[in-house]
């Protein structure tokens, strides 16, 4: 049976009778997604977990006050950026207050163990993380991307014989599916990095995590990281180098850089950089002031304790 800590509610879950309300955590649903498991690992029991249909809907729930926190997948060690998450961050309205890592082991879950699947459902990131396994073991099956791994498990269960899902082991139990393949990810070290988000307006700087899922050390003693989002005028030679040099010249180390098309015009990008320092560090403040002179837009998405 599912753990009660994983109990879900819809996005309109009402506030508690004490006037303050029960803390609500939005995640990509339904029950049993990796996002759900990270949310429960981060926040524990006694909260209301509100499953959303898409990653942008998790951002909307947090921004519009339907949840106090959200948990979103940002990047995967095998497949890279989770683009709907990056795109949602560019729209603003939320702040990063924590990070978490989950080693992802996928399972091929079947409705009828003796019937080879002709249709295999999963989230596009999960399908990509298992692409070698799928093309080797099920070359003739139709591979169908859906909104989440748990939605795939539910679909397979509903559709019956000939269907399968790539999903977590938890989904086998929650949706009553049989094991067709264990740890079918292409890389054993397959890991997804998640962010905990909160509305900008709360001024929240940390989340009430008791035991971070991904580490045995206390997050509160770990160094901070800051995720910065910016665009540069690409027509000017060296604009990106100058923006990054504002950080490098102050001895600030970058642990990640990635980009997304901005949608403003062709070949114009948002850049995301993780800086190994807190936004209240004087060097970060000075670097941001210098970047404002070099960048079209520069925004801090949040500072959070590094748990890697
Ligand atoms: O569908 C899920 O279970 C999710 O939580 C989404 C998601 C993703 O978007 O990356 C999260 C972790 C895994 O990398 C695969 C899928």
Question: pLDDT tens-digit profile of 101-111?
Answer: 999 999 999 99
Query: What are the φ/ψ torsions at residue 102 (nearest 5 degrees)?
Result: -130, 125
Rounded CA-CA distance 88/148 in Å is 17
State the burial class of residue 283 (Cβ atoms within 10 Å of its Cβ: 0-12, 13-18, 19+). Answer: middle
Ligand 1 atom 1: residue of nearest CA: 148
Residue pair 185/105 in contact by the 8 Å Cβ criterion: yes
Q: Would you say the CB of residue 82 lies under 6 angstroms from ligand 1?
A: yes
CA dist 86 and 102 (Å) reads 18
- Tens-place pLDDT, residues 216-260: 334 557 889 999 999 999 888 899 999 999 999 999 999 999 999
Structural domain ending residue among the three candidates 121, 150, 181: 181
122 lies in the same domain as 172: yes
Average pLDDT of span 82-90: 98
Residues 96 and 146 in one domain: no
Q: Whose CA is nearest to atom 14 of ligand 1?
A: 192
CA of 37 to the centre of ligand 1 (A): 10
Give the residue from 56, 87, 103 where a domain finishes: 103
Counting every residue, how long is the chain?
308
Do 121 and 88 fall within a single domain?
A: no
Give the model's confidence band at 45: pLDDT under 50 very low, under 70 low, under 90 confident, else very high. confident
Same domain, 229 and 280: yes
Residue 100 scores a pLDDT above 50: yes
| Surface-to-core class of residue 112, CB atoms within 10 Å of its CB (0-12 exposed, 13-18 middle, 19+ buried) | middle
CB of residue 95 inside a 6 A radius of ligand 1: no
Residue 233 lies in a domain: yes
Handedness of CA 30, 147, 81, 65 (dihedral sign): negative
Phi, psi of 241 (to 5 degrees): -60, -40
**Cβ(204) to ligand 1 under 6 A?**
no
Of 71, 103, 135, the position where a domain reaches its end is: 103
Q: Is 148 in the pocket of ligand 1 (CB under 6 A)?
A: yes
C-alpha to C-alpha distance for 127 and 184, rounded to whole angstroms: 10
Is 52's C-beta closer than 6 angstroms to any atom of ligand 1?
no
Count up the domains in the chain and report the number. Answer: 3
Based on the domain organization, do 95 and 119 belong to the same domain? no
- For ligand 1, say whether the CB of 246 is within 6 Å of any of its atoms: no
Residue 13 has pLDDT above 90, yes or no: no
108, two tokens:
């091929």
Q: Is 34 in the pocket of ligand 1 (CB under 6 A)?
A: yes
The DSSP secondary structure of the chain, one letter per residue, reads ---GGG-EE-TTPPPPTTSS---EEEEESSTT-HHHHHHHHHH-SSSEEEEESSHHHHHHHHHTTS-SEEEEEEEETTTEE-HHHHHHHHT-SEEEEEEEEEE---EEEESSTTS--SEEEE-HHHHHHTHHHHHHH-TTSEEEE-S-HHHHHHHHHHH-TTEEEEE-HHHHHHHT-EEEESS--S-TT-EEEEEEEEEGGG---S---SS-TT-SS-GGGSPEEEEEEEE--TTSTTHHHHHHHHHHTTTPPEEEEEEEE-SSSTT-EEEEEEESS-TTSHHHHHHHHHHHHH-SEEEEEEEEE---
**In this structure, is residue 192 part of a structural domain?**
no
CATH of the domain at 299: 3.30.70.260
Q: Which atom of ligand 1 is the closest one to the Cα of 152?
A: 1
The reply to whether ligand 1 has any atom less than 6 angstroms from the CB of 39 is no
For residue 145, what are its two tokens?
Answer: 């991307």
Q: Is the pLDDT of residue 214 over 80?
A: no
58 lines ligand 1 (CB under 6 A): no
- The pLDDT of 31-51, averaged and rounded, is 96
Q: What is the pLDDT of residue 21?
A: 65
- Whether 8 shows a pLDDT value over 80: the answer reads no
Domain span at residue 38 reads 24-103
Is the bond preceding residue 30 a cis peptide, omega within 30 degrees? Answer: yes
Q: Are residues 260 and 230 in the same domain?
A: yes
In whole numbers, what is the pLDDT of the chain averaged over residues?
89
Residue 151 near ligand 1, beta carbon < 6 Å: no
CA 84 to ligand 1: nearest atom: 9
Domain assignment present for residue 18? The answer is no
Same domain, 84 and 134: no
Instruction: Return the best residue to mutate from 30, 49, 82 for the ligand 1 pocket (most ligand atoms within 8 A of CB).
Output: 82
ipTM for the complex shown? 0.96
Q: Are residues 114 and 163 in the same domain?
A: yes
Q: Are residues 87 and 117 in the same domain?
A: no
Domain check: are 139 and 170 in the same one? yes
């Amino acid at each position: 049976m599912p753990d009660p800590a994983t109990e879900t509610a819809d996005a309109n879950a009402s506030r508690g009778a004490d006037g303050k309300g029960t803390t609500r955590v939005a995640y990509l649903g339904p029950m049993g997604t990796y996002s759900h498991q990270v949310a429960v690992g981060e926040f524990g029991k006694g909260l209301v977990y509100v499953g959303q249909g898409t990653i942008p809907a998790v951002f909307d729930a947090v921004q519009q006050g339907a949840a106090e926190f959200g948990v979103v997948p940002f990047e995967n060690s095998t497949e890279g950026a989770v683009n709907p998450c990056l795109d949602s961050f560019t729209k603003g309205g939320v702040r990063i207050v924590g990070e978490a890592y989950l080693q992802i082991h996928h399972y091929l879950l079947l409705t009828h163990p003796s019937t080879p699947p002709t249709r295999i459902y999963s989230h596009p990131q999960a399908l990509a993380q298992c692409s070698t396994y799928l093309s080797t073991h099920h070359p003739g099956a139709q591979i169908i991307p859906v909104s989440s791994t748990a939605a795939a498990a539910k679909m397979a269960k509903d559709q019956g014989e000939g269907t399968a899902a790539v999903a977590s082991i938890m989904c086998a139990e929650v949706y009553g599916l049989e094991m067709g393949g264990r740890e079918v990810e292409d890389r054993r070290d397959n890991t997804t990095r998640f962010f905990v988000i909160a509305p900008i307006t709360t001024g929240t700087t940390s989340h009430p995590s008791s035991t971070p899922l991904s580490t045995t050390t206390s997050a509160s003693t770990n160094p901070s990281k800051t995720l910065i989002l910016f665009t540069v005028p690409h027509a000017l030679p060296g604009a990106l180098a100058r923006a990054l040099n504002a950080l490098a010249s102050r001895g600030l180390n970058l642990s990640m850089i990635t980009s997304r098309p901005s949608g403003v015009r062709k070949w114009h990008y948002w850049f995301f950089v993780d800086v190994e320092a807190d936004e209240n560090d004087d060097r970060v403040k000075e670097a941001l002031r210098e970047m404002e002179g070099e960048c079209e837009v520069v925004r801090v998405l949040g500072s959070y304790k590094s748990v890697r």
